[in-house]
Amino acid sequence: MKRFIAKSIFLPLSILYGLIIDFRNWLFDNQLLPSVRPSVYSISVGNLTVGGTGKTPMVEFLIKRYWSSVYMTNASIATLSRGYGRKTRGFRVATVDDTAATIGDEPLQIHRKFGKQVRVCVGERRVEAIRLLLTHHPETALVVLDDAFQHRAVHPHLAILLMDYKRPFYDDYPFPAGRLRERRKGAHRADVIVVTKCPMNLWEAEQQRIISRIRPYTGSETPIFFAGLQYGQPVSFATHQPVADLKNVVLVSGLANADPLENYVRQAYGMQKHVRFADHYAYTRADLESILTNRPDGSVVLTTEKDWVKLDDLLTAEERSTWPLYYLPVAIQFLAEQESAFLAFLTTHKQLTKA
């Protein structure tokens, strides 16, 4: 009841906010504000909802897909995001010396996993960032734009829109009554939609019901796919190797929506408790010591990859080798037989779209 009352109070503000964003989009749509199509093939990954739709796993999926492509060569792929939460400004290419404070936690995660295959970049002014990237690295053949669906100054060749299965945009409202960054009709700019964090056994009838709810906001031919999350084996902070038979864990997370992760860890690893922090939380040494000191006897600490890169920087080499700290890799996993169709769509779209 309280939630209904709060939504009713904020709904007029949501309508006003939505209209302001509509006007901004109208300016871009009518070329009254400039929108630049990059000279290099570009893919935007984004959402309508604030946080928590699986953008980073999708970016990693694209990295793996295109890096294995026959037409890609070494260092020809780049990722670009604004670097949310960093304390620096301007265009920056990740190096081994960077931290979450200098490039942001998610770019740092990607750099530590794929730094030898891709060039990880940050820059809040993305048109300028792409120009600088191509000036210094003209061999770049693909730029993956992370969290760029509302960044209208760049007109990507392919726009991928993600929607959380449990937080569909068609049931939501713009801020502050809801969690949408713009009104639902913004989905019409998507070239493809992926419904993320789905149960892997999602029935075909339920998929069709969701498609029918999405379709009023998209083009009639816009492909819609369904995917879940696949968690890997926990990895040791000390050895960077997967471990088996991990039990009695204290889960530590700083995510926009940690519920799917909590449900999985509770079932798979005997979760003792879950210490939650805000999304993109900047951990301190005191936070780490509190987590370790207050954990139940015999338990270990399990966290996410995004949180690992920040917590790991707080450790000495000796602490890293002796303290029971692990992180849980996660990847996007398409529902049965949909991955091949999605990959075929990516290939066809790139062939049809001239950079």
Answer whether residue 260 is part of any domain.
Answer: yes
Please give the mean pLDDT across all residues of the chain.
93
The pTM assigned to this predicted structure is 0.93
Answer whether residue 107 is part of any domain.
Answer: no
Tokens of 345: 């769509």
Range of the domain at 340: 41-72+141-228+334-352
3-state secondary structure the chain: CHHHHHHHHHHHHHHHHHHHHHHHHHHHHCCCCCCECCCCEEEEEEECECCCCCHHHHHHHHHHHHHCCCCCCCCCEEEEECCCCCCCCCCEECCCCCCHHHHCHHHHHHHHHHCCCEEEEECCCHHHHHHHHHHHCCCCCEEEEECCCCCCCECCCEEEEEEECCCCHHHCCECCCCCECCCHHHHHHCCEEEEECCCCCCCHHHHHHHHHHHHHHCCCCCCEEEEEEEECCCEECCCCCECCCCCCEEEEEECCCCHHHHHHHHHHHCEEEEEEECCCCCCCHHHHHHHHHCCCCCCEEEEEHHHHHHHHCCCCHHHHHHCCEEEECEEEEECCCHHHHHHHHHHHHHHHCCC
Determine how many CB atoms are found less than 10 A away from the CB of residue 72: 16
Query: How far is Cα 200 from Cα 227, in angstroms, rounded to an integer?
Result: 7
Amino acid in the structure at residue 21: I
Same domain as 183, residue 46: yes
Is the distance from CB of 270 to CB of 249 less than 8 angstroms? yes
Is the distance from CB of 227 to CB of 332 less than 8 angstroms? yes
Which pLDDT score is estimated for 70? 47
**Position 116 pLDDT exceeds 90:** no
Tokens of 7: 């939504």
Query: How far is Cα 176 from Cα 72, in angstroms, rounded to an integer?
Result: 43
Same domain as 239, residue 224: no
Answer whether residue 185 is part of any domain.
Answer: yes
Same domain as 49, residue 153: yes
Same domain as 310, residue 237: yes
**Position 197 pLDDT exceeds 70:** yes
Answer whether residue 276 is part of any domain.
Answer: yes
pLDDT digits (tens, 9 = 90+) for 241-250: 999 889 999 9
Same domain as 338, residue 299: no
pLDDT digits (tens, 9 = 90+) for 128-179: 999 999 999 999 999 999 999 999 999 999 999 999 999 999 999 999 999 9
Query: How far is Cα 225 from Cα 206, in angstroms, rounded to an integer?
Result: 13
pLDDT digits (tens, 9 = 90+) for 318-355: 999 999 999 999 999 999 889 999 999 999 988 877 64
Tokens of 112: 């530590």
Query: How far is Cα 208 from Cα 213, in angstroms, rounded to an integer?
Result: 9
Answer whether residue 24 is part of any domain.
Answer: no
- Residues facing residue 334 across a β-bridge: 227
Instruction: Please count the structural domains in the chain.
Output: 2
CATH number at residue 275: 3.40.50
Which pLDDT score is estimated for 39? 94
Answer whether residue 25 is part of any domain.
Answer: no
Conformation bin of residue 353: beta by default, left when phi > 0, alpha when psi is -120 to 50: beta
Answer whether residue 126 is part of any domain.
Answer: no
Which pLDDT score is estimated for 67? 82
Tokens of 169: 């945009």
Amino acid in the structure at residue 288: L
Tell me the CA end-to-end span of the chain in Å, nearest whole number: 52
Amino acid in the structure at residue 199: P
CATH number at residue 206: 3.40.50.300
Place of tokens 């009518």: 30
Same domain as 313, residue 190: no
The share of the chain scoring above pLDDT 90, in percent, equals: 86
Q: pLDDT grade, residue 117 (50/70/90)?
A: confident
Same domain as 152, residue 54: yes
Determine how many CB atoms are found less than 10 A away from the CB of residue 71: 9
Same domain as 258, residue 207: no
Same domain as 321, residue 182: no
pLDDT digits (tens, 9 = 90+) for 55-72: 999 999 999 998 876 455
Answer whether residue 108 is part of any domain.
Answer: no
Same domain as 214, residue 248: no
Same domain as 338, residue 318: no
Same domain as 189, residue 47: yes
